[in-house]
Structure 1
Amino acid sequence: MSVDKPRVERLTRELLEAIGEDPDRPGLKQTPGRMAELYEEFFAGVGEDPAAHLERTISISRGPAPDTLPSGAVLLRDIRFRSVCEHHLLPFAGVAHLAYLPGEQVVGLGALVKVVETLATRPQVQERLGEQIADAIADGLDTRGVLVVLDAVHGCVTMRGGRQPLASTVTIAARGEYTDPVARAELIALIGSSSNAGAQPGTGAQA
């Protein structure tokens, strides 16, 4: 599904008029076109299937060491993402940490990044975003457990309302074995030890 850029341009002009501005003044004349380009980028994931990125899996049992299965999780930390809050259409951004406990399959690490990007580039709330990422990985791969930790800063918190510029939000979504806090404790510790953990210095995830 593609963004209707001409319609976005028309609606942006209407919005500028609605707040009492003149969309034809020099500083705003190009704004409708810029907004259309921006929305095309920010909402590229609307209608896209995140599971499509997980289709090219690698069978461990057919690899160079078929008798050796991973004894621990695959953990990918500090995936930078940005999204748009569906409540006020203000941005939120931060890092995603993904872990899964492989069964008979693994997937290229870039595919996990694509899952995050696809689901983040649509109107979202952080709580749902984490759950959707966890579902996509759990449903798209042969896994025994999935853990998704998101740490993000929200424009609706930093720029309006309480205006808390240092506040970040941490959410955890778990599937399979990692629904047990004890089972995921090691991963939480590894995520917390990341030099880039959190959207702000000093923030981290708690189980």
Structure 2
Amino acid sequence: MSDELKGHYEKIISLLGEDVTRDGLLDTPKRAAKAMQFLTAGYNLSLDDVVNGAIFESDTDEMVVVQDIEFYSLCEHHVLPFIGRCHIAYLPDNKVLGLSKFARIVDMYARRLQIQEGLTKQIAEAVQQVTNAKGVGVIMEGKHMCMMMRGVQKQNSSMVTSVMLGDLRDSQATRDEFLRLIGK
């Protein structure tokens, strides 16, 4: 863990008016620095690291859907969490991706300072890149603490973003199949 990062947290806590030497805060700068490193660990990964060769030949050409992948990210505007679910569909073209790799791709990009719109696009483009699929669709549903805890303070608000590539973009019937399979 970076002593520099820990020092910055000590400074922030002090600037907020707290005493960093008080019992409950003694290890807080260290814990906060460690948590931030974990929450932004996606910067230390590449798509090749995450996929790790788990692309397999297959004669499957029907839609594959992985839904309800939980994600946790930090908004790049306020460094507050946004959390939710990600649904991914793709139309294989002689290659399928190992199931766990979808969650790993989502985590890699989510564990960076983000906006949900960019996160959705990054995931779709990554799945397209590694599978060379005929089509890829990603839908993300998120709840943003920057809108719930501060600002307008709307507790029940959520955001839905989508990116459709290839056949999922070009064919309404294919897009409708994806939406039907995830119950939307």
Alpha-carbon contact 1:144-1:176 (below 8 Å) kept: yes
Instruction: Report the AA paired with residue 32 of structure 1.
Output: P
Is contact 1:50–1:114 with CA below 8 Å preserved after alignment? Answer: no
Contact 2:60 2:94 in 1 (8 A): no
Shift of 1:169: 0.4
Change in CA separation of 1:172 and 1:51 when aligned onto 2, cut-off 3 Å: farther
Structure 2 residue 123 is matched with structure 1 residue 133: yes
Output the amino acid matched with 1:103: D
Moved more, 86-95 or 34-43: 34-43
State the AA in 1 paired with 2:43: V
Q: Distance in 2 between matches of 1:157 and 1:100?
A: 32
The answer on 1:165 being equivalent to 2:155 is yes
Aligned to 1:188: 179
Task: Give the TM-score normalised by structure 2.
Answer: 0.94
Task: State the TM-score, normalizing by the size of structure 1.
Answer: 0.84
In structure 2, what is the Cα distance between the partners aligned to 1:44 and 1:52? 13
**Are residues 181 and 91 of structure 1, via their aligned partners in 2, closer, same or farther at CA, if it must alter by over 3 Å?**
farther
How large is the RMSD of aligned CA atoms in angstroms? Answer: 1.3
Structure 1 residue ranges (4+ consecutive) displaced by more than 4 angstroms after TM superposition:
none
Structure 2 distance, partners of 1:106, 1:171, is 24
Note closer, same or farther for the CA distance 1:11–1:90 as it changes in structure 2 (3 Å cut).
same
Candidates 178, 181, 187, aligned match of 2:168: 178
Tell me if structure 1 keeps the 8 A contact 2:120–2:162: yes
The offset of 1:51, in angstroms, is 4.1
Higher fraction of helix: 2
Distance in 2 between residues matched to 1:50 and 1:155, nearest whole Å: 28
| Amino acid in structure 1 at the alignment position of 2:18 | E
Counterpart check, 1:6 vs 2:24: no
The equivalent residue for 2:132 is 142
Identity fraction in percent: 34
SS at structure 2 position matched to 1:27: helix
Report the equivalent of 1:41: 38
Mapped partners of 2:2, 2:49: distance in 1: 26
Which secondary structure does the structure 2 equivalent of 1:76 belong to?
Answer: strand
What stretches of structure 1 of length at least 5 have no aligned partner?
Answer: 61-68, 194-204
**Among 19, 27, 33, which residue is 2:24 paired with?**
27
Other structure's SS at 2:25 match? coil
Aligned to 1:119: 109
| Number of aligned residue pairs | 182
- Tell me the SS of whatever aligns to 1:23: coil
- Give the 5 Å matches for 1:69-148: 69-148=59-138
Q: What is the identity, as a one-letter code, of the residue corresponding to 2:175?
A: R
